[in-house]
Amino acid sequence: MVRTLRLSELQAAVKAEVQEISGPSAFRSRMLALGITPRSPVQILRRMPMGGPIEIEVRGTRLALRIKDAEQITVTVRA
């Protein structure tokens, strides 16, 4: 079964796949340049306390994103 959710809602250490990126075009092209593209595998490494940013690993790189921005990215998880 495949579940679709926002990157911000993903649990830590669960492997997921990027589906779609919405938001302003500057944001989308930045995500593309950083390797966050449809079909790229992604997982959350840790969350900062009190709703702070999340640290993700994508294409061998570690990035930090704010929750608000991570909400723009949809991912799927194979259950």
Partner 1 sequence: MRVALAGNPNVGKTTLFNALTGRHQEVANWPGTTVDYVTGRLPTHAGEALELVDLPGTYALEAYSQEERVTRDFLLQQPHDAVIVVVDASRLERNLYLVLELLEFTPRVVVALNMMDAAARDGLQVDAKRMSELLGVAVVPTVASRSTGLKRLIAAVRQVARQPAASVPASAVPYPDEVRRELIAPLTARLATLQGLGYRPEWAALQLLQGEDDVRSAVAALPRGSEAIALSRVLLAGEEGGRLRGGAMLQAARVASVDARGRQAELTLLLADSRYDLIAAILRASSRRRLRWRRDASEDLDRLLLHPFWGYLVMAGVFSAGFWLAFVASAPLSERVDRLLVGMGGAVAAWLAQAGAPAFLRSLVLAGVFPGVGAVLSFVPYMAVFFAVYQLLQDSGYMARASLLVDRFMQLIGLHGKGFFALVSAYGCNVPAMTATRVMENPRDRLLANLVIPFIPCNARLGVMAVVTAAFFPGAAGAVAMIGLILISLATLTLVAALYRRTILPTDPAPLVLELPRYHWPSWRTVLLATWHRVWLFLSRIWWFLIWATIAIWALTYFPAGQPLDHSYAGMIGQWLTQLVGRHFGFDWRLMIAILFGFVAKETTLSTLGVLYGSGSGYLSLSHALTQAMPPLVAFTYLVVYMLYVPCLSTVVQMRRESGAWSWAALGVAVNVGVAFAVGLLIERLGELLGLAP
Residues of the shown chain interacting with partner 1 in the complex, contacts defined by CB under 8 A: 21, 23-30, 32-35, 37-40, 46, 48-53, 55, 59-66, 68-69
Q: Which is nearer to partner 1, 5 or 53 (CB)?
A: 53
3-state secondary structure of 9: helix
Give me the least distance between CB of 79 and partner 1, in Å please: 26
DSSP string, 16-57: EEEEEE-S-HHHHHHHHHTT--TT-EEEEEEE-TTT--EEEE
Tokens for 18, please give them. 């990027």
Give me the least distance between CB of 64 and partner 1, in Å please: 4
Q: Which is nearer to partner 1, 42 or 79 (CB)?
A: 42
Q: Which is nearer to partner 1, 20 or 79 (CB)?
A: 20
How far is the C-alpha of 13 from the C-alpha of 15, rounded, in Å?
6
Give me the least distance between CB of 12 and partner 1, in Å please: 12
